[in-house]
Structure 1
Amino acid sequence: MDENIVWHNYAISKSQRSEQKKHKPAILWFTGFSGSGKSTVANALESALNQLGVHTYLLDGDNVRHGLCKDLSFTDEDRVENIRRVGETAKLMVDAGLVVLTAFISPFQSERDMVRNLVED
């Protein structure tokens, strides 16, 4: 990475954002085969959480492929990059204090572990 790119610390901490929203941020990762109901279940859960006052956002695999990841194909390499991008996006949303629901095929354990490690940092 370029040495001119530095991490900036923010005046508002993750814990302050969490306290403001009155819930702990998290990622709920729904995975499974195409057509298995990931998006349907995630959408229903998001609706229920929203009614409870939880600040949520749903990242859906098909929707993300229309924008953030529209340049990617379905090769193993691009599937990994797709999940990496989603993981980075979800991490930003968790840092903002949201409960992020994701619905992705994500066939490789290694990529799910990558996201888990990314968020734990």
Structure 2
Amino acid sequence: MEITSREAHAVNEEKSGGIVIWLTGMSGAGKSTIARALVARLQTFGCQATMLDGDVLRTGLNSDLGFSDEERTENLRRVAHVAALFSGEGFAAVTATISPEPEHRANARRIVGEANFVEIFVDTPPAICEQRDPKGLYRRARRGEIPQFTGVGSPYHPPLRPDLTVRTHGNSVEYCVDDIVRYLVQARRFGSKLAQIDTTARKRA
């Protein structure tokens, strides 16, 4: 995407304002792919942006946690606190976690603070998520190797009132990222004086 001088100036003007962009959705929905592309887009504008991937954090910071209800809640509590630290330093922290329960997302919003939190539902039909299965997790869950796997042994409860919903099925990654950037600008969620960014609408995949 070609960045205009107006876009770069508009985002640079407010890059000191931090935000947490919390992507929620089922495994295989496209959260990590969208998060990486969004971080790259914001960095192109000159923003400080970073991605916090739930799977990656589980191999390090949260490697002591399993997948019981209590441990999932603790995992997401830690993710929210790390995201809040980045936000406090002026970063756009883009998280990619399943966060299947409404209380998980509500708790993250409380930790970060309403003014700096954006909940985005990556809405992809469960059948499509399982068909994609990029990490082979659904296959393992169907074989009984991953108990309580969200979408197989444990339910995913979609947000009823997310700040934004993006649909990956039938839409390109860039199309979804455009939707998110457009929301941040129009809702004035990334800096109080952020000027209008002329995002070019992307074609559907």
CA drift at 1:35: 1.2
Cα distance in structure 2, aligned partners of 1:22 and 1:45: 15
Matched length = 103
Q: Is the 8 A contact 2:15 2:90 kept in 1?
A: no
Are residue 54 (structure 1) and residue 47 (structure 2) matched? Answer: yes
Code of the aligned partner of 1:64: L
Ranges in structure 1 where 5+ consecutive residues have no aligned partner:
1-18
Code of the aligned partner of 1:56: A
Which one has the bigger helix percentage?
1
CA drift at 1:23: 3.9
Q: Is the 8 A contact 2:50 2:91 kept in 1?
A: yes
Ranges in structure 2 where 5+ consecutive residues have no aligned partner:
1-11, 115-205
Taking structure 1 as the reference length, the TM-score comes to 0.79
The residue aligned with 1:9 is: none
Are residue 38 (structure 1) and residue 31 (structure 2) matched? Answer: yes
Q: Which runs of 4 or more aligned residues in structure 1 lie more than 3 Å from their structure 2 counterparts after TM superposition?
A: 19-23
Cα distance in structure 1, aligned partners of 2:103 and 2:73: 9
Are residue 96 (structure 1) and residue 86 (structure 2) matched? Answer: no
The 5 Å alignment of 1:54-93 reads: 54-93=47-86
Taking structure 2 as the reference length, the TM-score comes to 0.48
User: Percent sequence identity over matched residues?
Assistant: 43
CA drift at 1:22: 3.2
CA drift at 1:21: 6.8
Cα distance in structure 2, aligned partners of 1:22 and 1:74: 36
Q: Could you say what the CA RMSD is over the residues aligned between the two structures, in angstroms?
A: 1.8
Are residue 107 (structure 1) and residue 103 (structure 2) matched? Answer: no
Higher Rg: 2
1:41-71 Cα distance to aligned partner (Å, 9 max, x none):
1111111111000101100011101101001
